[in-house]
Amino acid sequence: MLFKKSIPQLIAEANENGEHTLKRTLSSSGLIALGVGAIIGAGLFSLTGI
Q: Which residue has the higher pLDDT, 45 or 42?
A: 42
> What confidence tens digit (pLDDT) does each residue in 19-42 have?
566 777 889 999 999 999 999 988
pTM value is: 0.46
Confidence at 14, pLDDT banded by 50, 70, 90: confident
pLDDT of 49 > 80? The answer is no
Q: Which residue has the higher pLDDT, 47 or 9?
A: 9
| 12 vs 35: CA distance, rounded Å | 36
The residues spanned by each domain of the chain are: 7-48
As a whole number, the mean pLDDT across the chain is: 82
Furthest CA-CA distance within the chain: 52
Q: Give backbone dihedrals phi and psi of 27, rounded to 5 degrees, phi first.
A: -75, 170
